[in-house]
Amino acid sequence: MAFRKRLYNTLEELQADVDVWLREYNEARPHSGKYCFGKTPVQTFLDSKHLSDEKQLDRLPVRTSSDGLSPRDARVAVA
């Protein structure tokens, strides 16, 4: 579907077409990534979500000067 080939009269018409396109793009077509093995983007995300969860900074232990390693109580502020 190419959005540029159609003129929309309302934002709702455009949103309906965008929603259909996003569903097709994320849930129906195979992902083209090298290690996705023909899965859809949604399948690829769900299958690898645990990997990103394990690498969240607020879940990693932090070394403190007094007790070695302890769970992080607050997120790291990035300037």
Kindly tell me if the per-residue pLDDT of 14 is higher than 90. yes
Name residue, tokens 């932090």.
62
Kindly tell me if the per-residue pLDDT of 67 is higher than 70. no
Report pLDDT for 79: 47
Closest CA relative to residue 38, chosen from 47, 59, 20: 47
Give pTM, 2 decimals. 0.51
Label residue 43 exposed, middle or buried (CB < 10 Å: 0-12, 13-18, 19+).
middle
Alpha carbon 10 to its chain's center? 29
Query: Cα separation of 15 and 77, whole Å?
Result: 36
The amino acid that residue 23 corresponds to is: R
